[in-house]
Structure 1
Amino acid sequence: MKKSDHNNKKRFAVIYLLLLFAVTGNKVAAQQKAFNYTQYMDNLTPFNPAYSLLDKAGSINALVRKQWVGIDGAPVSYLINGNLPIESINGAAGLIVFDDQIAIERQTELNAYFAKGIQLDQESYLAVSINAGLRNYTANYSILDATDPTFRNDVRETKPNIGFGIMYYTDWYYLGLSVPELSVTSLGTASVQNASNFRNHYYFSGALLTDINEDIKFKPATLISYAKGVPMTADISGTFYMKGAIGLGINYRTDKEMSGIMSINIRGFHVGYGYQFGTSSTNLGGFNNATHEVSLSYRFGKGAMDSKLL
């Protein structure tokens, strides 16, 4: 293949991806908000590190989220986070790493966090957390055609990041508020995504765990996100857990996305799968913006063999 044909193919791929956003009925800036995932009810720590105190075991968690499978340059995200409890002070510390890619754009973040809880009464606790790290953004326009002035200059920016979280929790429910990505200046202003990935994002979360019978528990949960200039989004989910080993749930997002979720918890290991699809008329009648999401976790230390449902 000639070099000019190869460059034209890359440019076409980027344009095609942007057209797909339009077909699904969402503006690019609204669609590509801060990193999100459908299995938040099983691992909320990347959104609010104070949540890490709800588990007395240590853990390592990984997640892969891939959209439009089979299309070159389609959105793909990777997340890894580890948590180590500090039982002597009712605290926890850990690391969160995620990588988000679409076409020629890529955002990578690395954050360390510390969380500390205090007991309010016999059944309730209040936890606070702080996280700090770096956020890197790149847009490799030159790979499209380095000889074209329009695509000559790449964008490469790195900025510090700081975040805060607070959570009130008991053995059967929690309520949380967090700002995990708090930046003084914008990042990625040259992005075709209009820098919406790099604004301050605010999250409100809540969940409770209730018994249906001796073997089945039900967990409704919600995650509400807001950023200036981006429509507020709410995730609402409900999950049934059978004997603490198998979870089956459904999630609805107010930007007209729905997901089916399945999880297995056995001896400290957690495996989850989510299938997300659009519910708008454009999705159901034509191109379906399907997303596959796989998660894997391992818990160790105190209480690791017990199922973690909340």
Structure 2
Amino acid sequence: MNKIYNDTIPLIVAFSLCLLLIVTGNSAVAQQQAFSYTQYMDNLTPFNPAYSLLDKAGSIHSLARKQWVGIDGAPVTYLINGNMPIESIDGAAGLIVFNNQLAIEHQTEVNAYFAKGIQLDPYSYLAVSLNAGVRSYAANYSTLDSSDPTFRNDVRGTKPNIGFGVIYYTGWYYLGISAPELTITSLGTASVQNNSNFRSHYYFSGALLTNINEDIKFKPATLVAYAKGVPLVADISGTLYIKETLGLGINYRTDKTMAGILTLNINAFHVGYSYQLGISSANLGGFNNATHEISLSYRFGRLTTTPLL
């Protein structure tokens, strides 16, 4: 019990820092981060592959996200990631596939990763991960108006990608920092277009799981994203879990959007849905054009407990 109280001090400091970042990131957001989805609190691995070690089972996660429904060319995102535990070395290996379409722009990314955990004491662990893959970007400007010199040339770029992640975790909270997308070389002509998809991205994450009573648990979580030249964006969310089966959550993002989240954990399956909308008249679409997001996960192998953290 003393160990738990001792852990509270760094936890409070870290979350205070995170709140400071949220306030800092509450400025005008002219550009979106290249990689974003609402249900990060249930599947953080694409942002930080070291997170895969918090669950000792194997898993496959999928997600589909449709932004600003009713607007032609609005962003559509598909994501799938899976991992296999390597219990003999307290490790895990997996694959992340990401696809995003926005009007004439199309980005695909594939990353393989390896994560390794180290037990620091009976209560806490440190997990590190390395990932490597490839990113491909295409923008078909010529389809807009081929007679206009401004849109005459399409943009194509494919570059290798590397990244890392670190997470410190116990049985009831985690703190992580990661850079899953480190760009080593420029994108050439796409760099001239000031494209944010091929910039290095950095993430700070944290979550806490606490018992309200025997049947209800509460999980606040946060994710802060930064890329050079793109305004910092912070997510903060809170989820109530009822009998470890039904999850009811709310999410706020500093680009002036909010979301309601509903999740179900049924045996080895996890199903999630979120409804996101703008809360500022300056947002594209305001309250009229919502964003829908659906997730589906399946766990296999060592299914000891429901992974809520």
Q: Residues 286, 250 of structure 1: CA spacing in aligned structure 2 closer, same or farther, 3 A cutoff? A: closer
8 Å contact kept, 1:137–1:188: no
Say if 1:274 and 1:294, in contact at 8 Å, map to a contact too: yes
Q: How does 1:77-92 map to 2 (within 5 A)?
A: 77-92=77-92
Matching residue's letter, 1:173: Y
> Counterpart of 1:234?
234
Q: Return the alpha-carbon distance in structure 2 between the equivalents of residues 36 and 134 of structure 1.
A: 18
Matching of residues 152-163 of structure 1 within 5 Å: 152-163=152-163
Deviations 1:23-76 (A, max 9, x none): xx976xx33312111100000000000000000011110001101223331111
Report what 1:20 is aligned to: none
Q: Structure 2: which 5+ runs fail to align?
A: 1-26
2:262 matched residue in structure 1: 262
Distance 1:95 1:32, change over 3 A: same
SS in structure 1 opposite 2:50? helix
For residue 48 of structure 2, what is the aligned residue in structure 1?
48
Structure 2 Cα separation of the partners of residues 77 and 192 of structure 1: 25
Aligned length, in residue pairs: 283
The residue number in structure 2 matching 1:5 is: none
User: Once the 2 structures are TM-superposed, how far is the Cα of residue 307 of structure 1 from its aligned partner?
Assistant: 1.5
SS in 1 for 2:38: coil
TM-score, structure 2 normalization:
0.86
> What is the match of residue 165 of structure 1?
165
Distance in 2, matches of 1:73 and 1:180, equals 27
Asked if the contact 2:156/2:190 (under 8 Å) is kept, the reply is no
Give how far 1:285 is off.
9.4
Q: Which secondary structure does the structure 1 equivalent of 2:41 belong to? A: coil
- What residue ranges of structure 1 are gaps of 5+ in the alignment? 1-24
Cα deviations across residues 262-292 of structure 1 (Å, max 9, x unaligned)? Answer: 0000011011001111111335995644211
- Structure 1 residues 121 and 286, CA gap change in structure 2 (3 angstroms): closer
Query: Aligned partners of 1:240 and 1:192: how far apart in 2?
Result: 46
Residue matched to 2:6: none
After superposition, the C-alpha distances for 1:164-188 in whole angstroms (9 at most, x for unaligned) are: 0000011111000000000122337
Give runs of ≥4 in structure 1 deviating > 6 Å. none
Give the 3-state SS of the residue equivalent to 1:31 in structure 2: coil
Question: Do structure 1's residue 177 and structure 2's residue 177 form an aligned pair?
Answer: yes
Q: Structure 1 stretch 289-298 or stretch 277-286: which is displaced more?
A: 277-286
- Output the CA distance in 1 between the equivalents of 2:135 and 2:52: 22
Give the drift of 1:150: 3.5
Give 1:192 deviation, angstroms. 9.8
Does residue 308 of structure 1 match 2:273? no
CA spacing shift, 1:286–1:298, aligned 2, 3 Å = closer
Matches of 1:192 and 1:102 in 2, distance apart? 19
Hey, what does 1:11 align to over in structure 2?
Answer: none
**In structure 2, distance between residues paired with 1:46 and 1:211:** 27
Contact 1:237 1:252 in 2 (8 A): yes
Number of the residue aligned with 1:243: 243
C-alpha distance in structure 2 between counterparts of 1:204 and 1:33, whole Å? 14
- 1:243 Cα deviation after fit: 0.4
Whole-angstrom CA distance in 2 between matches of 1:291 and 1:192: 30
Paired residue secondary structure (2:36): coil
Match of 2:137 in 1: 137
Correspondence 1:16-165 to 2 at 5 A: 30-165=30-165
1:149: how far off?
Answer: 3.7
User: Matched residues in 2 for 1:100 and 1:284: separation?
Assistant: 19
Shift of 1:228: 1.4
Identity %: 78
Report the residue type matching 1:61 in the other structure: H
- In structure 2, how many angstroms separate the alpha carbons of the residues matched to 1:149 and 1:233? 34
TM-score when normalising by structure 1: 0.86
CA distance in 1, matches of 2:65, 2:32: 13
Residues 231, 292 of structure 1: alpha-carbon distance in 2 compared, 3 angstrom cutoff = same
Distance change (3 Å), C-alpha of 1:34 and 1:286: closer
3-state SS of 2:40 partner: coil
Pairing 1:252–2:252 present: yes
